[in-house]
Each structure stands twice: as C-alpha cells, then as structure tokens.
C-alpha cells in the first residue's frame, strides 16, 4: 500500500515537490534548522534542495527515511503524540521518526546528506539509461505512444497495477491527446498493456494528501478530472478505444466520448460508484442514458452492474465485440483500412456529429467534477478507499 506520495514513477520536479510536501519537509522549515546546524549546515540545506530536483520517485520507504531524518535533524527526537490507528499516513511518518530514538541531530543531518547523495547518483545513472528509451516514448513514463500507418496509439502502460490511472497518468494522457490532435495521424487509438484495459482511478491518488489537507486534495483532483475529461470532449479526430480486457470506473465512463469502441470478448465494463461512495464522471450521467436508455444506465451507474462485452454491445456502449484470440489482428486490420480514408473529411464529419453537444458536455463535466469534489470528502468514499487498501474490499 502506498502510504505517502504517489505510487509509480514521478517524472518531474512538480511531482517531487508534492511528495516532499506530503512528507511535511517544506522549505520554510529551513529557518528552524539553521539554528541547529553546525559544520555541515550548508550541505544539509543543499541536500534538502536537491530532493526537489530528483527525477525519479525514490519510493515510499526512502521518502519516510528522508522525512524522519529531516525531522530529527531539525527538531531532535520525536516527542509529538502518536497519530490514531486510522491516520495511516501520519502514523507511518511518526513511526519512522520515532524509530530514530535519540540519534543526535548532527548524525541525522549527515545521514540525510548521505542518503540524498546516494539517491542523486542512482537517479543520474538511471536517467542516462532512460534517455535512450525516451527517444521512443517521447518522455512518457506511464504510456507507450506509437505512430504508424496514420494511427497514433496511446497505450496505458502500468500492467502490474491493471493500468490504474495515477495523477501523473491523467496528465500524460492530456499531453498525449494534445500532441495527437496536432500530429499527422488520421485516427487516435487508446488501449491497455497486459490483461486489463484499465482498473480506473488509482485509489492511491486519494492517499497523497498535500499540506492544505484533504479539502485541497479534493479541489485539485476535481480540477484535474475536469481538465482531463475536457480533452476528450474537444478531441478533434476520430477516437477509438481498443478495449483489450476489463475496464473499470473512469475508463468505462469516458467511452461515451469515443467514436468507436472495439472490445475483446474478455472485456467487462464496470462502474462501481455506489460501492465506492462516488458518483458518475466522464459525462456518463448524460452520455449513458442517451446511449443505452435511462433504465440500463441506472443499472450501471447507480447499482454498479458489471456488463460483459456482449451486454455492452447490446446496450450500444460497444461498437463491436471480437473473440479474444483474433482481437488484435482483426481490430488493427480494420483500423489500418479506416486510417487510409480521407483525413479532412473524417475530421470535419466528427465536428459535425459532435460539435453541437460540446457546450452541454463541458457544463455536465464541470457539474460532475464539482459533485465528486464533495463526494471525495465523504466518510462513504474514504471508508471504501481504506477498505480496498486493507484488502477488505475488491470489486
Ligand atoms: C484525479 C482524480 C480523478 C478521479 C476520477 C474518478 C474515477 C472513479 C473510478 O475510476 S472508480 C474505479 C476505481 N477502481 C477500483 O475501485 C478498482 C480497484 N481494484 C480492484 O478492485 C482490483 O484490483 C481489480 C478487480 C481491478 C483486479 O483484481 P485482481 O485480483 O485481478 O488484481 P489485484 O487486485 O491483485 O491488482 C494488482 C495490483 O494492482 C493494484 N490495483 C489494481 N487496481 C487498482 C486501483 N484502481 N487503484 C490502486 N491500485 C490498484 C492492486 O492493488 C494490486 O497491487 P499490489 O500488487 O501492489 O497489491
């Protein structure tokens, strides 16, 4: 379970700043440290700044060590009250700090400097190796993007986590869509790497709490969600989902904004919002009743009924279902043929079909995001996330 920070790789300074904040090592605290510093004060301050520049997420264990050493170096031994059992993040931080016992401030400072220096050298060497891969992936950590036969393929690439969508991933998808809207391709395709299409929102997104607390987290998440969905509403080219396996949550709702949805017969479609104390997003409160009629939409969006690929086809959410054994071959043959059609005619046709709904969709998206911002602060939602991570609940 990710106790602090974001799981997965962190691409840039922004993310690391967020991680650092979640560990409560703000730069403002440096003035406290100055009084306690001896000979290596400069080294320590410089190490604190270098943490911001690390390109790779060092992982929760290391982040906890950094936090503990920082607190020990600046405040001495831990003597604050132990957080409650369910305050998982603060308890993990408190445990890490408390474990340092009476370690002298000078030693903690030195250990902090040594730890950061080790992280920097491993980060430098791994970024050298990565620079080769970057040429292919064009700077995306969580997606594999390829362009071939006038088709840009955006593949979700966290198979070990069932392609659950982290905040980094939402941002990378927005960048990828922006790039695809301007490249030479005629069609843009979304698919997943591994056995899942996507298990939806990564629930660890709810555990990385910024200094402003959960209200700030909910507000930022609602903005990110709204911006993310807006990119799909506005995407100008034919957008195709190649649903290679089960799809959950936002990976399903957003399909209502795609132009074609091809599914393997292994795929399932599940929107368990009421199980999670949440409400529909991705404009599904509007697109699903429109696509499948209100009764079937309610079964999915309120009661969380999981559809097979065949059922999703019967409801109109899926364009066509293929046997899994021939899925990739059949779908890509079809898409390659489509991609040779007249580019401008396809794009203009999409505008004619979609444009008259755009304004409405943006308004619905804003409203769904606003409602979710409130939902994320509810006990129902928080308990559901806790249950998932304590292995009490799985879909
Ligand atoms: C900016 C914010 C926008 C928010 C928009 C809101 C969107 C709403 C939604 O999307 S709601 C849907 C949320 N998704 C879920 O609730 C799915 C939770 N996952 C599961 O129930 C199961 O993992 C499963 C049914 C998808 C797959 O079960 P299975 O037994 O086959 O596999 P594992 O559970 O062992 O999964 C392998 C590892 O992947 C991790 N994982 C899978 N999905 C998620 C997820 N959504 N969030 C976080 N982590 C996920 C799982 O924890 C395993 O990790 P581990 O190997 O480290 O244990």
3-state secondary structure string across 249-302 = CHHHHHHHHCCEEEEECCCEEECCCHHHCCCCCCCHHHHHHHHHCHHHHHHHHC
Q: Where in the chain is the domain with CATH 3.90.226.10?
A: 143-393
How far apart, in whole angstroms, are the C-alpha atoms of residue 390 and residue 395?
14
Atom of ligand 1 nearest to the CA of 195: 31
Ligand 1 centroid, distance to 164 Cα (angstroms): 6
Q: Give exposure, 112-123, as e/b (b: 16+ Cβ within 10 Å).
A: bbebbeebbeeb
Average pLDDT over residues 74-93: 86
Interhelix angle for 60-75 vs 105-137, to 10°? Answer: 150
In sequence order, the 6+-apart residues with CB closer than 8 A to the CB of 71 are: 78, 97
- Ligand 1 center from residue 73 Cα (angstroms): 37
Instruction: Return the residue whose CA atom lies nearest to atom 50 of ligand 1.
Output: 161
Question: Greater confidence, 114 or 197?
Answer: 197
Longest dimension (CA), the chain: 72
Residue of the CA atom closest to atom 5 of ligand 1: 201
Is domain 44-122 annotated with CATH 1.20.80.10?
yes
- Measure the CA–CA gap between 383 and 180, rounded to whole angstroms: 38
Of 268 and 117, which is predicted with more confidence?
Answer: 268
Region 285-289: mean pLDDT is: 98
Confidence of residue 125 (pLDDT cuts 50, 70, 90): low
Question: Over 70: is that where the pLDDT of 20 sits?
Answer: no
Distance from residue 248's CA to the centre of ligand 1 (Å)? 9
**Relative orientation angle of helices 41-53 and 60-75, to the nearest 10 degrees:** 150
Q: Looking at ligand 1, which residue's alpha carbon is closest to its atom 57?
A: 1
Position 138 confidence tier, pLDDT thresholds 50, 70, 90? low
Q: What is the rounded (10 degree) CA torsion for 239, 241, 242, 247?
A: 170
Q: What is the whole-number distance in angstroms between the Cα of residue 349 and the centre of ligand 1? A: 37
Closest CA to 154 of 178, 128, 123: 178
Compute the average pLDDT of residues 369-391: 91
Q: Which residues contact 244 (CB under 8 A, 6 or more apart)?
A: 191, 192, 195, 196, 197, 264, 266, 267, 327, 328
Cα 96 to middle of ligand 1, angstroms: 27
Give 176-204 pLDDT, tens digit per residue.
999 999 999 999 999 999 999 999 999 99
Q: Which of 78-82, 132-136, 161-165, 320-324 has the lowest mean pLDDT?
A: 132-136
User: What is the side-by-side order of every strand in the sheet holding 268-270?
Assistant: 247-248, 268-270, 307-308
Which has more confidence, 233 or 58? Answer: 233
Distances in Å between the alpha carbon of 159 and those of 60, 143, 146, 229?
Answer: 20, 11, 17, 23
Q: Is the pLDDT of residue 127 over 70?
A: no
Lining residues, ligand 1, CB within 6 Å: 161-162, 164, 167, 170, 199-205, 221, 224-225, 248-250, 276, 278, 281, 388, 394-395
Q: Residue whose CA is closest, atom 17 of ligand 1?
A: 199
Say which residue, 254 or 93, is predicted with more confidence: 254
What number is the average pLDDT over the span 368-392? 90
Residue ranges matching CATH 1.20.80.10 in the chain: 44-122
Q: CB-side exposure of 59: number of CA atoms within 13 Å?
A: 4
Average pLDDT on 257-275 reads: 98
Q: Rounded to whole angstroms, how far apart are CA atoms 249 and 392?
A: 19
Residue bearing the bigger pLDDT, 13 or 157 = 157
pLDDT at 13: 25
Confidence of residue 392 (pLDDT cuts 50, 70, 90): low
The H or E element containing residue 241 is strand 239-243
Confidence (pLDDT) at 5 = 34
Residue 183 is predicted with a pLDDT of: 94
| CA–CA separation, 180 and 174 (whole Å) | 10
Quick one: pLDDT band at residue 208, thresholds 50, 70, 90? confident
Q: Specify the ligand 1 atom closest to the Cα of 196.
A: 26
Residues whose CB falls within 8 Å of the CB of residue 272, separated by 6 or more in sequence, listed in order: 248, 249, 304, 306, 395
- How many angstroms separate the Cα of 193 from the Cα of each of 164, 175, 243? 11, 19, 10
**pLDDT computed for residue 389 by the predictor:** 82
Counting from 1 in the atom list of ligand 1, the atom nearest the Cα of 395 is: 21
In which band, very low, low, confident or very high, does the pLDDT at 393 lie, cut at 50, 70 and 90? low
How sure is the predictor about 22, in pLDDT bands with cuts at 50, 70 and 90? very low
Ligand 1 mean position, distance from CA 277 (Å)? 15
Q: Fold for domain 143-393?
A: 2-enoyl-CoA Hydratase; Chain A, domain 1 (3.90.226)
State the ipTM, two decimals. 0.99
- CA Rg value for the chain: 23
Q: How far apart are CA 271 and CA 269, in angstroms?
A: 7
pLDDT of residue 365: 98
The pLDDT assigned to 304 comes to 98
The closest-lying atom of ligand 1 relative to the alpha carbon of residue 248 is 12
- C-beta separation of 322 from 243 below 8 A: no
* Token pair of 124 as six digits: 């430098």
Which residue has the CA at smallest separation from atom 30 of ligand 1?
394
Q: Say what the pLDDT of residue 352 is.
A: 95
At 184 the pLDDT is 92
CA of 271 to the centre of ligand 1 (A): 12
The percentage of the chain sitting over the pLDDT mark of 90, rounded to a whole number, equals: 65
**Cα 161 to averaged position of ligand 1 atoms, centre (Å):** 7
Which ligand 1 atom sits nearest the alpha carbon of residue 394? 21
Sign (positive or negative) of CA dihedral 117, 121, 122, 128: positive
């Amino acid at each position: 379970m990710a106790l602090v920070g974001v799981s997965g790789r962190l691409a840039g300074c922004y993310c690391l700043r967020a991680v650092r904040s979640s560990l409560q090592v703000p730069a403002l605290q440096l003035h406290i440290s100055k009084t306690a510093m001896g000979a290596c004060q400069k080294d320590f301050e410089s190490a604190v700044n270098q943490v911001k520049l690390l390109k790779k997420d060092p992982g929760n264990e290391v982040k906890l060590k950094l936090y503990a050493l920082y607190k020990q170096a600046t405040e001495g031994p831990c003597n604050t009250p132990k957080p409650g059992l369910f305050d998982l993040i603060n308890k993990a931080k408190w445990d890490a700090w408390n474990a340092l016992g009476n370690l002298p401030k000078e030693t903690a400072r030195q250990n902090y400097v040594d730890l950061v220096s080790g992280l920097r050298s491993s980060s430098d060497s791994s970024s050298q190796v990565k620079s080769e891969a970057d040429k292919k992936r064009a700077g995306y950590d969580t997606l594999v993007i390829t362009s071939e036969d006038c088709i840009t393929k955006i593949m979700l690439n966290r198979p070990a986590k069932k392609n659950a969508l982290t905040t980094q991933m939402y941002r990378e998808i927005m960048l990828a869509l922006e790039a695809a809207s301007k490249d030479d391709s005629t069609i843009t395709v979304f698919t997943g790497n591994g056995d899942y299409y996507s298990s939806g929102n990564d629930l660890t997104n709810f555990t990385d709490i910024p200094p402003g607390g959960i209200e700030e987290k909910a507000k930022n998440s609602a903005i990110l969600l709204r911006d993310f969905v807006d990119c799909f509403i506005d995407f100008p080219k034919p957008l195709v989902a190649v649903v290679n396996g089960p799809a959950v949550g936002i990976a399903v709702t957003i399909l209502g904004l795609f132009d074609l949805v091809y599914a393997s017969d292994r795929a399932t479609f599940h929107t368990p919002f009421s199980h999670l104390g949440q409400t529909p997003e991705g404009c599904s409160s509007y697109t699903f009743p429109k696509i499948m009629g209100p009764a079937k939409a309610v079964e999915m969006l309120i009661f969380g009924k999981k559809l097979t690929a065949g059922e999703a086809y019967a409801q109109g959410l899926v364009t066509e279902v293929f046997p899994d054994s021939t899925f990739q071959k059949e779908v890509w043959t079809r898409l390659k043929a489509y991609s040779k059609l007249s580019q401008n005619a396809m794009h203009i046709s999409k505008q004619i079909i979609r444009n008259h709904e755009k304004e409405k969709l943006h308004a619905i998206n804003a409203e769904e995001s606003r409602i979710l911002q409130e939902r994320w602060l509810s006990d129902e939602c928080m308990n559901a996330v806790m249950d998932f991570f304590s292995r009490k609940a799985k879909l």
